[in-house]
Structure 1
Amino acid sequence: MYRYSGIRAFLLVVTFIFLGFSFPSKTQQNQLPEKTRYLDRTFKEVDIQKDIKFAESVNEKGELENLKLDIYTPQGDEQLNRPVILWIHGGGFRPGNDKSQSYIVELVKRFSMKGYVGLSIDYRIREQPRENPEETIFDAVEDAGKALVWLRENAEMLKIDPSKIIVAGGSAGGILGTNLCLNDNNNIPGVDNSGIIAFVNLWGSPSAEWGEPVVDENDPPTIIIHGTEDELVAYDNSVKLKAELDKNNVRNELVTITGAGHTPVKHMDGFEVNISRFLFEIIQQH
């Protein structure tokens, strides 16, 4: 009985080959049908590697602090030279939030299912960040710069294209990202913005206290998501930022969520579409 079963299986394989059929690869098995990569969720699952050390920095207490990141990749994806999104969490630059912040994790997963590689990073925070906002921003941007260095050094392992980097940050992470992408790094040594092709600013347009943007024509295309009733980061900051981007002919989009406060996660399904379309068009041009 077993011998005939084996013969039958062999004949089935031969028939498939003869008729031009092929067995699906791991990527095909995990992909959803009739979807467009980078625009739709084309993968069913995401692989996650947690707590990868990418650098060391001296914190406000004078102690050496290990900086870590989590890596999110589409499960079974075999494509090389993928774009990468550097995700930066919020939390007011204070203890209590890190790279595992819930809405950041949800967004990283959603965009990794679209085919992006996602890196969610930690950076130095402070007990009293407003006592010296300049130093707070300096440390945070410097750490994000170190993540960019690590990203480039490990591009082959990550199967990414270091000339296709997207920075995305929420709240304090958006403020950090604005300083990283739009402020010429505040003269922070060693921070290299090369390869950044877009910035996703999630309700994090800073006031002058946190490094008001100094925009120029070389800044990356920027999409801003912001609620009109935000009591922590003024919506008007984003209106002003858009005006500066327009003035300097930097491609941009302001997605206004009328009536929404800070961190409007219940609107995520909607603004996910806005971000996906914005980034997809930019990816096609690179």
Structure 2
Amino acid sequence: MSNEACCTCAALLSSIPPNYDEKTEKPVARHERRLDCCVRAICARCTTDNPRFQTYCPFCQISLMPTALPQGLKDPPPYAPPADDLDGEEGYESSIPDSMFTSTYSELPQYSDLYQRPQWLSEKQSQVGEDVLHFVDPVNDSVNTLAIRYGVPADAIRKKNGIFQDNLLAGRKTILIPGEYYKGGISLSPQPIDGEEEELRKSKIRKWMVACKVHDVPPKYRYDVAILYLKQADYNLDAAIRTYKEDEEWAEKNPMQKDKGKAPTKTRSGRFGFAGGLTGQLG
């Protein structure tokens, strides 16, 4: 009995405490109910909480009291259909010709046979558009915003322009929008942000600084030196570079001497009276 459990709450009968009377607060001498139909046991706590278990077996569905429901479990319905139904099905199958069961198709038809794409649509999709040039706005443009504006996957923009990290876009002046995804053919930023003239002016300044390499001028003044030479040459790049080289050549041939009788120093004097030609004015 120590290992026997209640058939409804699955609690061990030995672990169930006794019930107490609400009025006298004394333990009620009530034991578990032993079922005659299946020799199972229902604990006193379950019979107290649910008085129906005092006269009813939940497993065998048998009641000791008269009830309108039938006693005991019902047998499951037969799985085989009646003989009349079998005869009806055989007669129905025999009335169907054998040709109806034989398919005329060896396999399902392909969807391409049922639906033909319009020729103009196929030609339009087969033509890959040209790449579109977009001038980058470093303040407002990013890879994700450009992908949304052009309707192009962000990975396609990165792959087309060799951008491995999105922050590298700020260093680009222009990028290409892949034409295989963007069919509009119109750039949303067809011109430089600062204008073509300003972009050309900045390009000449960069080219002059690369060609001349003003080493004897502090870095913070080199940009001003480039503007000085380009303004004097009316922004003619070749003339500005030629003027600077002539000044440097003249400064090397005419070194400035601080005191007589001393060897020439490395400081050069330009024709304008300053060391290093025009660069000496800012040095």
Greater Cα radius of gyration, structure 1 or 2: 2
- Which structure has more relative contact order (CA 8 Å, sep 6+)? It is 1
More strand by share: 1
TM-score, length of structure 1 as denominator length: 0.20
TM-score, length of structure 2 as denominator length: 0.20
